[in-house]
Structure 1
Amino acid sequence: MDFNYSDEQKLLIDSVERFVKDDYDFDTRRAIVKSEAGFRRDLWQQFGELGWLAVPFSEEDGGLGGTPVETMIIMESFGKGLVVEPYLSTVVMAGGLLKLGGTAAQKEAILPDLMAGGLIVAVGYAEPSSRFNLADVSTTASASGDGYVLKGHKSVVLHGPMADKLIVSARTSGDRRDADGITLFLVDAGAAGVSRQDYPTVDGLRASEVILENVQVSAADIVGPLGGGLALLDQVVDEAIAAICAEAVGAMEVLHKATLEYCRTRVQFGQPIGRFQVIQHRLVDMYMAYEQAKSMAIMANLKLDAEPAERRRAVSAAKVQIGKSARFVGQQAVQLHGGMGMTDELNVGHYFKRLTMIETLFGNTDFHLKRYAA
């Protein structure tokens, strides 16, 4: 199998990495995180102008017809800069749901604005007691005339504070945790009955608790099959896991390089600490953990088009390795930087926070180890 990037993919890598280096340094990112909005809409629109938001969508839908590899490239580069703009929630997740299950009318109404950077869509799939079980849905959608009435609570809706629209899972039939009977609905974030409690997450992103209280939606707002939304959501979450695995790889690369450079310049006992054999061993172990994570992230992204069982197995295997590598690389980077590694002024701790959240997002290491075994 040829693992070399094509000329077009190399151009994409150069485009995103040049942006991160020139326009998204650590100080810029800190200012964005501390702002009221938690992101910069002008940068988001710039992503649209550069074509990054259109990468995963087919040419028939107005996109660039990219594969998961192109998404992996973008997310890995975003990981290097700790980019907080809503690419994961809007393009990978919401865009993925619309790409796979949206009607022609829904795609026509939403995707052009989404790809241009004028529309942000978040996905509400988790609930206060659901943990990592996508089928654990208590939010209800009761038939009412030609439409439905939504009632429930969606937790930790990533990028919910800046979302213009939401895609939420609700139960149209069956009991809580039943695989059947889950339907996905498109909801205006400002619709009557929708309320949000917004907050920052530990890694600098923003999320919301979304309360749906008698929210009226029409049958035309259903995304995917009625009562069959779980399979669609399961596939898109696997795609999101593959994407954040790539993001974690980018963050780990930065941590390893920063730690290596610090050990080359930090002098103790009259010589750089990088000359001590025990430090060299730890730096090599960090590099090996990073390389293992990178290999598994590539494998997961290449398996996204496989049969569901094979896809889930590959994604879970990658998530397990990413979780182990992220913890090890992050801990070593903080420790080898000494007291500096614990300060907010140094970027090391911020990368470690993001890696810690990635380990938990969409199922932690233990969850995916059990899913892989099953």
Structure 2
Amino acid sequence: MDFDLSEEQRLLKDSVEGLLNDGYDFEQRKKNIAAKKGWSDDAWKKFAEQGLLGLPFAEADGGFGAGAIETMIVMEAMGKALVVEPYLATVVIGGGFLRHGGSDAQRQAHIPSIIDGSKTLAFAQLEKNSRYDLGDVATAAKKKGSGYVISGEKFVVANGETADTFVVTARTKGGQRDRAGVGVFLVPADAKGVRAKGYPTQDGLRAANVTFEQVEVGADAALGDPENGLPLVERVVDEARIALCSEAVGAMDESLKTTIEYLKTRQQFGQNIGKFQALQHRGSDMFVALEQARGITMYGTMAVSYDNAEERATAIAATKVQVGRSLKYIGQQSIQLHGGVGMTMEYKIGHYFKRLTMIESTFGDADYHLRRIAAQGGLFKN
């Protein structure tokens, strides 16, 4: 199997990395976090000008018709730079719902604004005690005329404080954990009855708890089948999981490089600590963990396009398991090998560790996905 990038993909990789290397260093990231939104409008505008916000959308919708490999390339570069702008929430997740479940009218209403950078989205899915179960939905969407009335509360909504539109999971029928009866709705952030309370997360990003109190939306707010939207949610979240794994690969790559450079310059006992064989062995183990994560992320990226939902889910679960194990090892070793300086806010390695830790627990940690694989009878079946 050929894992080499095409000429167009290599150009994309060079372009994205060049953009971030030129204007997105660690000091600039601090300034972006300190901005009113918690991220930079200027950086977002540059992403739009570079075409990154339109990358996965069909040409008919004004995009470039790129696929999962291109998203992997972009997310890996963003992981290296610790980008805080809402690319995952808006383009990967919000855009994914529009690509896979949106009607022509819905795509026309939202995708051009995403592409030009004037609109951001947020996925309001997590509920109290729902953990990683995408089908555990208590938020209700009750019929009213041809539309719906949505009531409930969502937690840790990434970009929830500044999003223009929420993609909301809400139950149209059945019990709280039934697979049937989950709908997906587009809800304007300024709709009557919507309240968002924002806060910073451990990795420097921002999230919000969002309350929907008798929020009325029309029939055109539903994405796909409002009584059977869980397969759509699972497909988009699988794509988000792979995007997160790609981001983690970028963050691990930069963590390893930063740590090796530190070992080459830190003096102790009259010599660079990188000369100590025990530390060289740790660096080698970190490299192996990184390459394991990189390899399986490529596998998971190709699995995103599987038509068989069970095969796709199992492959992506396996990817999340290995990436979760690798990022935990590399993150912990990076902090350990940096010593006390690794725990300071001023030095960047601790910020990589925080972001990797958050990625590991987003949409299921390694233990959760290992249980999913076991429940399916293993990764490879006779």
TM-score, normalization by structure 1: 0.99
1:155-234 to 2 correspondences below 5 Å: 155-234=155-234
Q: Secondary structure of 2:110's partner? A: helix
The match for 1:129 is: 129
2:343 corresponds in structure 1 to: 342
TM-superposed deviation, 1:34:
2.2
2:109 equivalent to 1:109: yes
Residues 24-45 of structure 1, C-alpha deviation per residue, up to 9 Å, x if partnerless? 0000001111222101112112
Q: CA deviation at 1:222?
A: 0.5
Provide the rounded CA distance (Å) in 1 between the counterparts of 2:52 and 2:35.
24
Give matches, 1:27-42, under 5 Å. 27-42=27-42
Match of 1:361 in 2: 362
The aligned amino acid for 1:246 is: S
Asked if structure 2 preserves the Cα contact closer than 8 Å seen for 1:46 and 1:117, the reply is no
CA-based RMSD of the aligned residues comes to: 0.8
Find the residue that maps to 1:302 and give its secondary structure.
Answer: helix
CA deviations on 1:321-362 (whole Å, 9 max, x unpaired) are: 111111110111111111111111000000000000000000
- Distance in 1 between the 2:16 and 2:161 partners? 25
Shift of residue 305, structure 1, vs aligned partner: 0.9
Q: Determine the structure 2 residue equivalent to 1:58.
A: 58
Q: Which deviations, in whole Å up to 9, do the C-alpha atoms of 1:45-97 show, x marking residues without a partner?
A: 22111111111111122110101000000000000000010000100001000
Deviates more, 1:224-233 or 1:77-86: 224-233
Q: Which amino acid aligns with 2:302?
A: L
Q: Match for 2:351: what amino acid?
A: H
Q: Pairwise mapping of residues 136-151 of structure 1 onto structure 2 (< 5 A)?
A: 136-151=136-151
Q: Is the 8 A contact 1:75 1:246 kept in 2?
A: yes
Structure 1 residue 226: deviation in Å?
2.0
Residues 197-230 of structure 1 deviation map (CA, whole Å, 9 limit, x = unaligned): 1011000111111100000000011011121110
Return the alpha-carbon distance in structure 1 between the equivalents of residues 301 and 266 of structure 2. 38
CA distance in 2, matches of 1:228, 1:29: 41
Match of 1:82 in 2: 82
Q: Secondary structure at the match of 1:160?
A: coil
Aligned partner of 2:333: which letter?
A: Q
Q: Percent identity?
A: 50
Which of 174-183 and 45-54 deviates more? Answer: 45-54
Q: Which residue of 2 aligns with 1:315?
A: 316
Q: Distance in 2 between matches of 1:366 and 1:226?
A: 31
Q: CA–CA distance in 2 between the matches of 1:304 and 1:312?
A: 8
Name the SS for the 2:331 alignment partner.
helix
What's the CA shift for 1:267?
1.7
Q: Tell me if the contact between 1:200 and 1:206 (Cα under 8 Å) persists in the aligned partners.
A: yes
1:133 and 1:234 map into 2 onto residues whose CA distance is: 10
Worse overlay, 307-316 or 211-220 = 307-316
Paired residue type of 1:318 = T
Report SS of the residue matched to 2:209. strand
| Whole-angstrom distance in 1 between the partners of 2:340 and 2:359 | 24
Q: Which moved further from structure 2: 267-276 or 227-236?
A: 267-276
TM-score, with length taken from structure 2: 0.97
2:161 and 2:11 map into 1 onto residues whose CA distance is 33
- Measured after TM superposition, the shift of residue 372 of structure 1 is 1.2
> AA paired with 2:30?
R
Question: How far apart, CA to CA, are the structure 2 residues paired with 1:117 and 1:299?
Answer: 31
2:378 paired residue number: none
> How much does 1:128 deviate?
1.3
Note the 1:257-272 alignment, pairs <5 A.
257-272=257-272
Corresponding residue number in structure 1 for 2:333: 332
Q: Which runs of 5+ in 1 are unaligned?
A: none
Please tell me the residue identity of whatever aligns with 1:372. Answer: I
**Partner letter of residue 205 of structure 2?**
L
In structure 2, distance between residues paired with 1:312 and 1:8: 29
